[in-house]
Amino acid sequence: MKILICDDDREIARAIGIYLRNAGYETCEVYDGRAAVEAAKDEEVQLIMMDVMMPGMDGIRATEAIRRVRNIPIIMVSAKGESYDKVSGLDCGADDYITKPFDPVEMVARVRACLRRYRSLGSAEEAPSVLKTGGLRLDTETKEVTVDGEEVNLTPKEFGVLKFLMEQPGRVYSMEQIYEAVWKEPAFNFENTVAVHIRHIREKIEIDPRNPAYLKVLWGIGYKIEKIDEPGNETEGAPAGAGGGPGSGK
C-alpha cells in the first residue's frame, strides 16, 4: 500500500518514510498542503500522514480539500498536542492524531489500525458521478451540464464552481472557500473573480438570473446550491424546480 507523507520539515518526512518502508509500505513525500491535495488524487495512495502547521495551505485546509474528493484514512501529525488542536484536526476529517515527538512503533501501529479499520468496514459510499437538484444535472465524468434536458456550456472554472457547490446542496460556502477549492491557491483579491463566475453560471442555468432557483446567495455569508426535488417529485413545502430550460441569454 502507498502512503502519502506531507510535512514541511523534510527531515521529519524522511524519517516517517523510513519507518513506514521498514514496515513494508510504499511511500511518497510532499512538503506543503497544496501538493498533498494534488498527490492525494493518485488512486494508489491509501493513507495520508498530514502535518498540521505548514506555510500556505496548512494541514487542516488540505484535509478538508482532500475529503471533498477522496475517502481514505488521514492521520494528523503535529507538535501541538492541546485538546483544541486535536479536536480541530479530527473535526476537519482526520481519522487519528499523533503528537510530535512520537514513538515510531506506535505510529506504525496506528497506521495499521486505520488501514485495517477501513478495509474491514469499507470506505464510505463513493460520490456519485452525476449530481442532481431539480432539473439541474451535472456529470462529473463527461463534464456535461444540463437544465431540464438542455445542455449548458460552462467554462472549466464555471464547471468547477458549480460542481463544488452541487456536491453539498444546501450548504453555504464563502467566496474564499469557493476560490481556494476551485482555483487551488490561497485566496487573495478573490471577491470579484468569484462574483463574476457566479454571475455567468446564473446566466446559463437560471430562467431568471435575478431571481435564481438554483444558485442562491446569503448576503454577507456566501453561496449555495438549493436542494430541489426532481420535477414531478416535489414534496409538500419543498421549493419548485426551475422549470423550462436555461434562459435565452446564455
pLDDT of residue 86: 67
pLDDT digits (tens, 9 = 90+) for 154-208: 999 999 999 999 988 888 999 988 998 888 777 777 888 999 999 999 999 999 9
pLDDT of residue 240: 39
> What's the rounded Cα separation, in Å, for the pair 33 and 185?
10
CA 46, chain centre distance (Å): 17
Model pTM score: 0.49
Q: For residues 124 and 71, is the Cβ–Cβ distance under 8 A?
A: yes
> What's the rounded Cα separation, in Å, for the pair 222 and 177?
9
What are residue 76's phi and psi, to 5 degrees?
Answer: -80, 140
Low-confidence residues in the chain, pLDDT < 70: 80-86, 89, 120-128, 230-250
> At 68, is the secondary structure helix, strand, or coil?
coil
Q: For residues 78 and 51, is the Cβ–Cβ distance under 8 A?
A: yes
- Cell numbers 446542496 label which residue? 169
> What's the rounded Cα separation, in Å, for the pair 207 and 122?
42
Contacts of 189 (CB under 8 A, 6+ apart): none
Cα-trace Rg, the chain: 21
